[in-house]
A and B are shown apart, each in its own frame.
Chain A
Amino acid sequence: KAGVTQTPRYLIKTRGQQVTLSCSPISGHRSVSWYQQTPGQGLQFLFEYFSETQRNKGNFPGRFSGRQFSNSRSEMNVSTLELGDSALYLCASSLVTGEAFFGQGTRLTVV
């Protein structure tokens, strides 16, 4: 059974640009969550989607957005990138039992 797949694995962007990250959950998982991991702030929840609906959102500015498609794949978008957006972005998919399985992450570097 394939795990959670995140693409791309690494990304370098310039300040002011926008970026889209993709996450394909484990087959059958309908819940997808996104987390930002930085050395200073640790792991912070961004948002969660279930059946194409955003059910939960963390404390991030509106530049951070996401969506989920009918096949449960999810994308997150960050517009007007800032240096502080450099981070490891992790995606997790879940069954209703509340067990979250993570992808390998996308390492975003903003220069």
Chain B
Amino acid sequence: AQTVTQSQPEMSVQEAETVTLSCTYDTSENNYYLFWYKQPPSRQMILVIRQEAYKQQNATENRFSVNFQKAAKSFSLKISDSQLGDTAMYFCAFMKHNTGTASKLTFGTGTRLQVTL
């Protein structure tokens, strides 16, 4: 079974600053995906960024980037130039790769990020 751990229940960052959210996971799988999802107060779960385990290059999406350390089973999210709209709950998630089909997500407990003026 897979486990995902987010050790930071809450974090705060000033607007325009950079913040890093931590995530570690445990799995015996070799092929998998890792995700960061954002859940604002509206409760809609929004995909922020995705990383395939076989790719060594860290994924980047505009102001969001990850530091994927496969050997250490670490997957942190860096948010640059933080904006008020980034205020949300952030979940790290693991998905085992199944050939031809999708699979279930295992989520961490989340990190509540507050962006302040």
Stretch at the interface among A13-21, A69-77, A78-86, A94-102: A94-102
Please state if B102 and A98 are interface contacts (CB–CB under 8 Å): yes
Stretch at the interface among B19-27, B43-51, B54-62, B71-79: B43-51
Number of A-B residue pairs at CB separation under 8 A: 64
For this complex, into which size category does the number of interface residues on chain B fall? 20 to 34
- Identify A33's interface contact among B37, B46, B104, CB under 8 A: B104
Task: Report B-chain residues with C-beta under 8 Å of the C-beta of A88.
Answer: 43
CA distance A40 to B95 in the complex (A): 22
B interface secondary structure, majority? strand
For this complex, into which size category does the number of interface residues on chain A fall? 20 to 34
B85 within 8 A of A: no
Taken residue by residue from 33 to 56, chain A's Cβ proximity to chain B (1 for < 8 Å, 0 otherwise) reads as 101000000110100101000011
Please state if A31 and B101 are interface contacts (CB–CB under 8 Å): yes
Please state if A98 and B95 are interface contacts (CB–CB under 8 Å): yes
Please state if A100 and B47 are interface contacts (CB–CB under 8 Å): yes
Give, as a whole number of angstroms, the nearest-CB distance from B1 to chain A.
10
Interfacial residues, chain A to chain B (CB-CB below 8 A): 31, 33, 35, 42-43, 45, 48, 50, 55-56, 58, 88, 90, 92, 94-105, 107
